[in-house]
């Protein structure tokens, strides 16, 4: 049977309303006349990209910037001044920025190992928080961040998993939930970064004079400076992040979970290793798989830093494989394909492109600002950010243990003690998680 998209959505809207948690567009009812002042911590990459999105909105002012790299800090301050006509205050220590009473909301764009401490301290300082993904860098951190947000119910915390503000992902999930694909027992999520060249080996060296390297390390273990561990490359070291599993995984596994109404897996099996890079250039796997087992389906994660293309000819995506058909969704839209026994060999209902829905990142920021001004429902609150970050962490924990691990969602512990040792981070002596 063939369905066009409009007929399908009409027929399934009622059935899916009870389970769909699509993006909430609140900016239409929020007054843009109430100015929101922001400060950015971590200015180099995604943090400044986030700030640029904020400055596109009405009545948003950048009061301050903070970064441990003084060259980046001054460059970004000049860019803000050129764009807005007002130069922001600059700080080398984020704690000084948090003391600034003129700041309503803080954007956290630092490496992952700083997210939890900064988010919790920002709440203590009375600031709303827009925090980059993954929300936390350990299971313990994620749980603490959820508790901290609950302690300050008048403060908004949005996690920048901005696909939660892209409508076509929810439209795709509604199709999965409707049963039109039949029984879905296999879900795949993947990212292929497609780096043409592996990172070259670099020896340890002195940190640049314009970088406060001790503050950059913060709660992470003390180690010599190395260019392969710094700035963008922090992603590939477990001290600071979780590789592609947590970098892209939180975006894609989020909807792999959401489409199946899945919570925590029962077991997690690892695969992968470092095959594309020379020893010592990265630490997280450049080829990785994780198999998450649930009572009625399997969820598979796959990533590669090497050149290549992913499943279904897509560099990234999520595929729901049913016994009547398969749905594949990525940032460009969604599409369906029949099962192999369908002689017509064509989609049984067609997808649309994301361009017809608007800019997901823009709407994510608008949702956050609207909740600050008028209250309402965040599109990606801490509970969502924590769940997906924890599932991503589980994949890395299985990899680091080198074997299948078993999760008990009642005790919130693994059956394997070596896996439980990785639920928490070993912070340096100068930093610890704030008490909740």
Distance CA 434, CA 96 (A): 17
Do 11 and 1 touch, CB atoms closer than 8 A?
no
> Once rounded to an integer, what is the mean pLDDT over residues 12-20?
39
pTM (two decimals)? 0.91
pLDDT in tens, 48-77: 999 999 999 999 999 999 999 999 999 999
Superfamily the domain 180-354+383-420 falls into: Dihydrodipicolinate Reductase; domain 2 (3.30.360.10)
What is the dotted CATH code of the domain comprising 5-163?
3.40.50.720
> Which residues on neighbouring strands pair with residue 423, listed in sequence order?
none
Peptide bond between residue 172 and the one before it cis (omega within 30 degrees of 0): no
Number of helices and strands (H, E) in the chain? 13, 15
Domain residue ranges of the chain, discontinuous segments joined by +: 5-163, 180-354+383-420
pLDDT in tens, 351-409: 666 567 778 999 999 999 999 999 999 999 999 999 999 999 999 999 999 999 999 99
Do domains 5-163 and 180-354+383-420 share one topology? The answer is no
Residues in Cβ contact with 66 at an 8 Å cutoff, skipping those fewer than 6 apart: 39, 40, 41, 42, 43, 73, 90, 91, 92, 93, 94, 96, 97
> Once rounded to an integer, what is the mean pLDDT over residues 331-337?
90
Confidence of residue 345 (pLDDT cuts 50, 70, 90): low
């Amino acid at each position: 049977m063939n369905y066009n998209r409009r007929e399908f959505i009409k027929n399934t809207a009622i059935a899916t309303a009870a389970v769909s948690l699509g993006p909430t567009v609140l900016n239409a009812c929020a007054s843009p006349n109430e100015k929101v002042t922001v400060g950015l911590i971590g200015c180099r990459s995604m943090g400044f990209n986030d700030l640029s999105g904020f400055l596109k909105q009405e009545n948003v002012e950048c009061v301050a910037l903070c970064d441990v790299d003084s060259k980046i800090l001054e460059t970004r301050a000049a860019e803000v001044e050129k764009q807005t006509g007002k130069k922001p205050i600059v700080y080398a220590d984020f704690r000084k920025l948090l003391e600034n009473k003129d700041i309503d909301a803080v954007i956290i764009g630092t490496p992952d190992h700083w997210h939890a401490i900064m988010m919790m301290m920002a709440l203590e300082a009375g600031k709303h928080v827009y925090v980059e993904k993954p929300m936390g860098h350990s299971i313990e951190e994620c749980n603490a961040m959820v508790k901290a947000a609950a302690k300050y119910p008048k403060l908004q915390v949005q996690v920048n998993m901005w696909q939660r503000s892209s409508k076509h992902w929810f439209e795709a999930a509604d199709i999965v939930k409707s049963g039109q694909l039949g029984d879905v027992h296999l879900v795949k999520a993947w990212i292929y970064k497609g780096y043409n060249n592996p990172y070259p080996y670099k020896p340890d060296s002195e940190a640049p004079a314009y970088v406060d390297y001790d503050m950059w390390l913060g709660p992470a273990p003390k180690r010599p400076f190395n260019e392969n561990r710094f700035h963008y490359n922090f992603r590939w070291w477990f001290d600071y992040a979780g590789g592609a599993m947590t970098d892209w995984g939180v975006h894609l596994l989020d909807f792999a979970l959401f489409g199946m109404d899945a919570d925590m897996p029962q077991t997690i099996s690892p695969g992968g290793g470092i095959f594309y890079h020379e020893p010592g250039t990265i630490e997280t796997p450049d080829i990785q798989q994780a198999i998450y087992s649930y009572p009625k389906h399997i969820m598979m994660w796959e990533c590669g830093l090497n050149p290549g293309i992913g499943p279904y000819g897509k560099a990234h995506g999520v595929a729901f494989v049913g016994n009547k058909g398969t749905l594949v969704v990525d940032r460009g839209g969604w599409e369906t394909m029949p099962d192999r026994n369908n002689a017509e060999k064509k989609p049984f209902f067609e997808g649309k492109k994301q361009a017809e829905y608007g800019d997901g990142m823009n709407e994510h920021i608008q949702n956050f600002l609207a909740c600050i001004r008028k209250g309402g429902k965040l599109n990606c609150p801490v509970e969502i950010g924590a769940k997906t970050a924890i599932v991503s962490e589980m994949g890395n924990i299985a990899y680091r243990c080198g074997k299948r691990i078993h999760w008990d969602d009642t005790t919130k512990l693994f059956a394997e003690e070596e896996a439980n040792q990785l639920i928490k981070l070993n912070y340096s002596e100068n930093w610890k998680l704030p008490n909740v």
